[in-house]
Amino acid sequence: MAARPHPPPARTASPFLLVFLIGLVALALGAGLLILSFDQRDLRLPGAASLLLGVVMTGGYLTNKLFSGLYADPLAYEPPWAKLGRGEGPPRLPAPGKLAAPPSTPVAIDKLVDFPEPAPPRRPPMPVSRPAQSPPAPPTWTPELFDRMTPHQFDAVCATLFAQSGLETRVQAHGPAGGVTIWLYSRNAQQDKSQPVAVAVCRLWPGQPLAVRHIHPLMALMTARQLKRATYATASTFTDNARKFAKYNGINALDRSGLLALIATRTPAQQQALLAIALDRR
């Protein structure tokens, strides 16, 4: 007849539990005495002592309970990889097409745990060859260049442009607002060389089309000096009536397109000289 297992021995009440109960009684008694001390001040000191005693006793019990649960048996803890080292861990699935090892076969831990493989050495990146940048193209004459000119730059460009025609020029400035009158003299004149053969008026007039009233003073100047040819140069445009008036009175109306066409007739060296004046920011 098989022997019956003995029942586990009954656990005796811990002495700390009795201390905890006494502490609860002391807390209740101390709280009651403190409440009664509002009428009888003599009970204040015994109530405070009883309350302090209850706090110490119950606190000691709770602290002992807490730490006894955390550190009950520190040697009984076993890390999970210890069983793997003894071959007692869960079996690892075999690779496709291979038989699983018998349960009794010890398996090394490095075969059960998938350790990351070392990364292959990285090669330094190959230097990227950048194409050689070509030097920026030199500036050329464009219609937008007139928008960046100051009135005095425009006057200097016009004076140089008419001087490149082979005629002798005498420039008369109009004042701080800009604008010049250029008298043109022929070097091969057989008669009076002090008499100009033509006159040119140059003014920037940015963003404003020129009307007849702007050209009319030039016609009066031609009549006073008995000239048959004249030119009005501007970086702006002319109205239709102003062009008709200029053509009827022998005046060559040069807007920015006409000036660009006239500059294109000069030699490359002369064009670069005009461009240097237009780009000078002094």
Residue boundaries of the structural domains of the chain = 16-70, 143-279
Choose between 248 and 70: higher pLDDT. 248
Torsion, Cα 166 167 173 178, to 10 degrees, reads -40
Q: Compute the half-sphere exposure of residue 104: CA atoms within 13 Å on the CB side of its CA.
A: 0
Instruction: Count Cβ neighbours within 10 Å for each residue of 159-198 and write b for 16 or more, e otherwise.
Output: bbbbebeebebebeeeeeebbbbbbbeeeeeeeeeeebeb
Report the pLDDT averaged over residues 64-79.
Answer: 59
pLDDT single digits (tens) 116-129: 667 777 777 777 77
Q: Is residue 28 scored above 90 in pLDDT? A: no
What pLDDT is attached to residue 208?
82
What pLDDT is attached to residue 12?
46
Segment holding 242, helix H or strand E: helix 240-248
What pLDDT is attached to residue 199?
94
| Sign of the torsion formed by the C-alpha atoms of 226, 231, 234 and 238 | positive
pLDDT single digits (tens) 132-182: 676 665 678 888 898 889 999 999 999 999 999 888 999 999 888 889 999
The Cα–Cα gap between 97 and 118 comes to: 27
Q: Is residue 77 scored above 60 in pLDDT? A: no
What pLDDT is attached to residue 1?
47
The CATH number, out of the four listed (3.40.710.10, 1.25.40.10, 3.40.1350.10, 3.40.50.720), of the domain defined by the range 143-279: 3.40.1350.10
What pLDDT is attached to residue 151?
92
Choose between 146 and 9: higher pLDDT. 146
Choose between 213 and 189: higher pLDDT. 213
Q: Is residue 220 scored above 70 in pLDDT? A: yes
CB 109 within 8 A of CB 84: yes
